[in-house]
Structure 1
Amino acid sequence: MRALRITSIILGILIALAIAADRVTVGIAEGEVASRLRSTYGLAEEPEVKIQGFPFLTQVAGRHLDHVDANLSAYDATVDGQALTVTDLNIELRDVEINSSFSEVVAGTATGDGLISYEELTRAYGELLGGAGNGFAVEFRQGEGEQVLLALQVTVAGQSLTLDEIPASLVVSDGAITLDVDEADIPTFPEIPGADVNATVQEQLNAAHSIEGLPAGLSLDSLTPGADGVRADVSGADVVLN
């Protein structure tokens, strides 16, 4: 009985040490992944990385991680070359494969979401629409349901015209964002000699703006308005993390 008790104690200690070693190792690995992500994507600070599953050492030996979560406090994508910051970007990676030299990491699938504030949308679209000196400006606000509200300002021939609370939908298609505004929701601007204001407004609002700069393999699926801003949902396959 005494020998059995001693054996049980030793076995328990060995198991505890193995678990502790596994957890220490996974902590080191999470730090390394966070460091590489920061370097690869030029992040201002290291993201939070959590490698799920147990035991970790067995996963590493097989160079396959079942599930990795990453949270990026801020990530800069671009829309037609104009920076657009996505905050609190959470990405869930599945079936992560690591090559033999540990120099390349690819996730089989990835899903995630982040937040784009209305202030950030207003800033970015202000650069896109007003940057050409066409006297066109737009402000984004919270709307009802899955729509946003737009406040438009158009300056033509020295005259400034303002429209407020125009409902619009943010449509994502083929890697581009488009503002979908019903013509019935846009009041007719007064006529200005030599300028077709209504045509200008329609042209600016209906323009598609390309989304770029997301991690290789990820694409934007949808933009859903909420109280604090627009929720951006992303997904992809064969997402490169090295």
Structure 2
Amino acid sequence: MATAHPAYEERPRRRGRKVLITLLVLLLILGGLLVAADRVAAGVAERAITDQVSQEITKQGAQSSPPEVEVGGFPFLTQVLDGRYERISIRLRDVRGSVNGDAVALPELNVDARNVRASLETLRTQQGDVVAETVNGTGTITYESLAALLNRPGLTLGERDGRLAVTAPVDILGQKLTLTGTADVTVGKEGAISLRFNDVDAEGLPNIPLARTLLSNYAKDISIDVPLPDLPFQLAVREVKPLPQGLAVTAAAKDVPINSAG
């Protein structure tokens, strides 16, 4: 009759489990180290690009808070070796430029650069071009900035039903009335924003042609083309849309250097 030896059979199994567990732990540690190294390298690149973007903004005569740069795509190190990056996101806050002495404010401009070419030497020395195949920008122009450009006391702008709405006090034939209306907003020549207040009225307006003419003249006076400051990265305005927080601006460009070449 054969005698079973369970103790001897279990020891090899336990040793096998320990080896497997140890191997898994080592692989996890190694993977964690590689990920950490990858993120450290991405951080170094982000700081280098941040410095160069700041130089580019200053060069164009614009002002903003320090840019926030994030390099997308994983793993990062393979992108470094290839000299091509999937995506670089740049956030600019409090972007300002001077237009005829009046400030046109962009509280935030988000720039999404795709297929960015930048050699390792460029990132290391900050000499050379960092070029994006496509660049898309989205930002918002405050209604307060637009109202300041129109320079009419008491005039306020906002959004109503997806359109640009205006409210303003007016004096028509000695009567103090409140003008209300909406404007057509389009992209005009050279990227300017075209405001056309074609639909205006005032409660209590005298029912005579002269009163209507005076109201129409006021609407024409505030129907202007608003020139924007030069946007960074050669961005050209493609669309403007009224939103509750302001006029949303969408811009785009192709084959753009996003740094100041050394």
Same fold at TM > 0.5 = yes
* Aligned residue number for residue 179 of structure 2: 164
Q: Is 1:121 aligned to 2:112, yes or no?
A: no
Q: Is 1:55 aligned to 2:75, yes or no?
A: yes
Can you list the C-alpha shifts for 1:148-196, whole angstroms capped at 9, x where unaligned? 222346789xx897642221122113312111222x525689869xxx9
Partner letter of residue 218 of structure 1?
L
For the aligned residues, what is the CA RMSD?
Answer: 3.5
Partner letter of residue 107 of structure 1?
A
Distance 1:209 1:160 in 2: 30
User: How many residues are paired up?
Assistant: 227
* Aligned residue number for residue 93 of structure 2: 73
- Call closer, same or farther: CA 1:125–1:96 in 2, change over 3 Å: farther
- Call closer, same or farther: CA 1:185–1:8 in 2, change over 3 Å: closer
Rg larger for: 2
Which one of the candidate residues 204, 207, 224 is aligned to 2:221? 204
* Aligned residue number for residue 179 of structure 1: 195
Tell me how far 1:23 sits from its aligned partner.
Answer: 0.8
Distance 2:30 2:241 in 1: 51
Partner letter of residue 143 of structure 1?
E
Distance 2:142 2:239 in 1: 15
Which stretch shifts more, 8-17 or 96-105? 8-17
Partner letter of residue 144 of structure 1?
R
* Aligned residue number for residue 65 of structure 2: 45
Question: Which has the larger share of helix?
Answer: 2
Distance 1:9 1:45 in 2: 44
Which stretch shifts more, 85-94 or 6-15? 6-15
Which secondary structure state, in structure 2, belongs to the residue aligned with residue 213 of structure 1? Answer: coil
Tell me how far 1:13 sits from its aligned partner.
Answer: 4.5
* Aligned residue number for residue 116 of structure 2: 96
* Aligned residue number for residue 129 of structure 1: none
- Call closer, same or farther: CA 1:85–1:36 in 2, change over 3 Å: same
Which secondary structure state, in structure 2, belongs to the residue aligned with residue 142 of structure 1? Answer: strand
Tell me how far 1:241 sits from its aligned partner.
Answer: 1.0
- Call closer, same or farther: CA 1:219–1:44 in 2, change over 3 Å: closer
What are the ranges of 5 or more consecutive residues in structure 1 without an aligned counterpart?
Answer: 127-135
Partner letter of residue 246 of structure 2?
G
- TM-score, structure 1 normalization: 0.75
Tell me how far 1:26 sits from its aligned partner.
Answer: 0.3
* Aligned residue number for residue 131 of structure 1: none
Equivalent residues of 2:64, 2:92 under 8 A apart: no
Q: Is 1:112 aligned to 2:129, yes or no?
A: no
**Identity of paired residues, percent?**
26
Equivalent residues of 2:87, 2:112 under 8 A apart: yes
Equivalent residues of 1:109, 1:236 under 8 A apart: yes
